[in-house]
Amino acid sequence: MLVGKTRLLVTHGISYLPFVENIFVIKEGEISESGSYQQLLDQKGAFAEFLTQHIQDLEDVDEEEIKLIQESLKDETAQKIVQRAMSVRSNRSDGSNGSQRRKRISRQESKQSAKKEEPVIQNLDLATLIEKEESATGAVTWAVYKKYVSAIGFQFGFWSVVFSAINQGAGIYSSMWLTDWSEDPEAITDTSVRDMYLGVYGALGGVQSIALFIGSVLLALGCLKAAAEAHDKLLESSMHMPMSFFDTTPLGRIINRFSKDVDVVDNILPATIRAWLLMLFSVIGVFVVIGISTPIFLAIVPPLLIIYYFVQRFYIETSRQLKRLESVTRSPIYSHFGESIGGQSTIRAYGQQERFIKESEYRVDYNQVVTYPTILANRWLGVRLEMIGSLVVLFAAMFAILARDTIGQATVGLSISYALQISNVLSFLVRMTAEVETNIVAIERLEEYTVLPREAEWKKGTVDKAWPADGKVEFKDYQIRYRDGLDLVIRGISLSVRGGEKIGIVGRTGAGKSSLTLGLFRIVEAAGGQIIIDGLDISSMGLHQLRSRLTIIPQDPVLFSGTLRMNVDPFKNYSDDQVWKALELSHLKAFVKGLPAGLEHDIAENGENLSVGQRQLVCLARAILRKTKVLILDEATAAVDLETDDLIQKTIRTEFADCTILTIAHRLNTILDSDRVLVLDKGLVAECDSPQNLLANKETIFYSMAKNAGIVS
């Protein structure tokens, strides 16, 4: 209940106006008239004139209101319009029999609609509306590693490994050189010997620094190249996915790939691989030094490596799967957040902020559930690696004591000091190995989207630049289904449209009107049959070659962030004079002239800084500029007011007089001057004839639709 609250209704539907207390008429950004409904009629201004032009749309206004308009408007033409509207209304609601008839028709239509929808609901597996995001199991395949390594490139990968090995080798040799220096008695007394040791030690340090720097730079460049390649492949693949993919995949999953997974490949994976290489050569260096110092130590290396291997595999399998679960549970966070931002006005209007906040927190919490097992797995690994490290220290010390008579004190110290490092180095190596395998999952997830089915080729063969010259369109037993496993929405349409002919397409919701548009542009590929335009089967050409030769003014006007000129002429194929001419014909020239930046006026995302009507007129200007021989209007004026509708219809009739026009209509008066009207029902052609012939036969579906709309009495 909204008792006691102010209600503000912004509308272009004039049928609601008699029921409001105060009306503000806005024209060119200013309030031109205001007052009650009756007061505005008495003023005989723009509002009253507007009603005389569109009185037939007052379907929901009772007869008393119509009579008030009639009494208020003394103009003879206005009186005739009102009388005609009242006559239509009286014929539509003739006594109780008319009322019963309307109810009976309504019930029949409801039953027909239910029958039409029932098989779809029965055959549709609701679980497939949104495909479940799959999480891979088991080890990451070697094919993923191979693709990543090949993307890095041999020149970067090989030489970074070589320089890492040189860095570690120089480090080991410098330690052994220092040991020899400390055991050489001449180095104490002979300055030349001391300087020799010092020079070599310094040179080895320099080699370490240079090798470390070159190896790091080469690996960074290689990983950057691989990241760019992975991102470009993902973007290119996403741009060519069929629409069925986007129908069944929440936007959050796609954003997850482009944000978190790309970030891992860009920033985290290169650092992880670099650390893994350093730790790998450090562990090898520890065993080399201990093996050289006390060769008997090498006897226990195989058992230690076996223990280490099993500990590592157990940990990696756990952490890798936890990483996959974390990635999968992150997608719903992005989806819900995007939905909340997009619907914030509705959420606020219904006071549901708290519910959406709690839902967002729940999804974040659910995503963070995998964090606790990750911490436990790290502690489990830490304890066992400490045990292995302790065993290495124990055996290194034990064998050094046993061999104290054959090796020097400095060598024993070197062996034990390296053994003391093994615990930290080994632990870090296992963690880095796990990090590499868990983060390589990002490559796996990016690759997953690059091998999915794609839409048809962008360009295929050659198409004459003048095609289509006539605009003749033929449907031959044409069929469409949106996805495999779903019922046909177009069940076999055969129709021939002459070049330059104007066809109005009508039908109840779900009859298949918009599906024809999807088929013409091959947004959805045919399940059977053909569409032939000027003798060419559209399935035999590339998508760009087809779509660039057709023009559509959609129901929802699509604008992009950028300048107004870019939205009218995206590919800069036309001069400014041609653009201004298109704007003039679409009744936007005065508006654009009044903008400080003119054609360079910045358009916000989705055209939010323009009204819906202005957006639709921009789309009209775009169509006028291209002016192809085939024009499709997909309920192009459904979201605009009646005056804008009149402007659009007038321009289309004049500027596209020699073009083939297929108009999907929601207002029947917009197609009454069409050459033919195509009535669809349940995906089939129910009727196809001139509007006059269809209206002359009271048994036709089109006649009943026109009668319900008040067009005929």
Contact 651, 586 (CB under 8 A): yes
DSSP-assigned letters across all residues of 396-411: HHHHHHHTTTTS-HHH
Residue 702, number of CB atoms within 10 A of its CB: 26
Q: Which domains does the chain have, with CATH numbers?
A: 23-86 (no CATH), 142-451 (1.20.1560.10), 473-559+611-709 (3.40.50.300)
* 226 CB-side CA count, 13 A: 33
Amino acid 214 reads: I
Which residues have a Cβ under 8 Å from the Cβ of 572 and sit 6 or more positions away? Answer: none
pLDDT of residue 85: 46
Residues 448-472 pLDDT 10s? 888 888 888 888 888 888 888 888 9
H helix count then E strand count, the chain: 27, 14
How far is Cα 407 from Cα 148, in angstroms, rounded to an integer?
46
Contact 320, 140 (CB under 8 A): yes
pLDDT mean by block of 10 residues, the chain; 713 residues: 68 73 81 82 75 54 50 48 45 40 39 36 43 60 86 89 90 84 77 86 92 92 92 90 83 85 90 90 84 78 82 81 80 85 87 91 87 83 81 79 71 76 76 82 86 85 85 90 83 89 85 85 88 90 88 83 88 88 87 87 84 84 87 74 74 84 80 87 88 88 82 70
Contact 499, 545 (CB under 8 A): no
**Residue bearing tokens 């650390």:** 275
pLDDT of residue 636: 67
Give how far the C-alpha of residue 652 lies from the chain's centroid of Cα atoms, to the nearest Å: 32
Stated as kind and residue range, the H or E segment containing 646 is helix 642-655
pTM higher than the cut 0.75:
no
Contact 381, 315 (CB under 8 A): yes
pLDDT of residue 518: 86
Which residues in 453-476 are b (16+ Cβ under 10 Å) and which e? ebbeeeeeeebeeebbebbbbbbe
Identify whether 468 is preceded by a cis peptide bond (ω within 30 of 0).
Answer: yes
pLDDT of residue 106: 40
Residues 98-109 pLDDT 10s? 444 333 334 344
